[in-house]
A = this chain, B = another copy of it.
């Protein structure tokens, strides 16, 4: 598998005498390389969380206020208050989640923080620009993309989907007990039983490997058995609040662009030389809009 997923553009076609060979189908990488500037949309600095971990790694998370506006506002407020500094990653459960923030022993919330937010695990479908994905889904009659986020819809409601890299707000048993002090990212096969049960607030757009490659916790549900195993969270701040020289920036492919449609089509029907049997479909969680850094 050394060459697995090599980006080769040459595809053998049936060469008929007197007929031109069919043009090679573009690879996903070729589609991306050819996408015009207008097919990309920038993540707003006020919608971009930047987390610095104790080992020097940096994780960037694009916020999704269209799905959980009050939860996103709470996270922004905690970030602006500097509240996350000194918290830690305290749970890494294999094929499930990495979780950080409040470990039950963290400092009290800043003045003015709302400690019981209403449930925001789904919302009215009306008013949400969901670009549908033209493939079957196991869970919902309609799935697709909202900006850079995976989403599903049914019965007049819509909700973001727990794909790899999606970030949610931990809560206790009651649906209105999340407050933003505890966050998690999905690090395995999409645990979609969580959809509609817990508020998702964003998606990791850079540094995912820093969350996914951490040692798994050996305690119950992947919690680290001892505080010494925890990885410190140095800070979580909004990109908008960072000095211009330290401010990362990203853009993602617009799901309503022709480039995104072509990219999905190419991913669902791989014609690279490695693939002999195109799948003919793609799962929502393998169709998240690609992200790229923007040079300052």
Q: Which residues of A contact B (CB under 8 A)?
A: 1-6, 8, 91-92, 94-95, 97, 99, 104, 119, 121-122, 135-139, 163-165, 168-173, 175, 182, 184, 188-193, 195-198, 208-209, 212-216, 221, 223, 267-268, 270, 273-286
Contacts and interface: CB of A to CB of B under 8 A. Distances in A.
19 contacts: A1-B169, A2-B104, A2-B170, A2-B182, A92-B213, A95-B208, A136-B136, A138-B281, A139-B279, A173-B273, A175-B276, A189-B286, A195-B277, A197-B274, A209-B215, A212-B212, A212-B213, A212-B216, A213-B214
A292 to B, nearest CB: 16
A56 to B, nearest CB: 13
A135 to B, nearest CB: 5
Which 3 A-B pairs have CB atoms at the shortest separation, nearest pair first? Answer: A1-B170, A196-B277, A209-B216
Q: Chain copies in the assembly? A: 2
Given A138-B135, A275-B193, A5 B221 contact: yes
Given A94-B212, A213-B215, A274-B173, A138 B139 contact: no
Contacts of A8: 173
A138 B212 contact: no
A275 B191 CA distance: 13
A99 B1 contact: yes
Contact of A282 (B138, B172, B221, B280): B138
A157 to B, nearest CB: 10
Given A6-B173, A95-B164, A196-B279, 20 more contacts: A1-B91, A1-B97, A1-B99, A3-B172, A8-B173, A94-B208, A94-B213, A95-B165, A138-B283, A138-B284, A139-B280, A188-B189, A189-B283, A189-B285, A193-B282, A193-B286, A195-B277, A195-B279, A197-B274, A209-B216
A87 B143 CA distance: 43
A39 to B, nearest CB: 23
Contacts of A163: 189
Contacts of A195: 277, 279
Given A136-B136, A138-B136, A191 B286 contact: yes
Given A1-B184, A2-B172, A221-B5, A121 B277 contact: yes
A121 B139 CA distance: 27
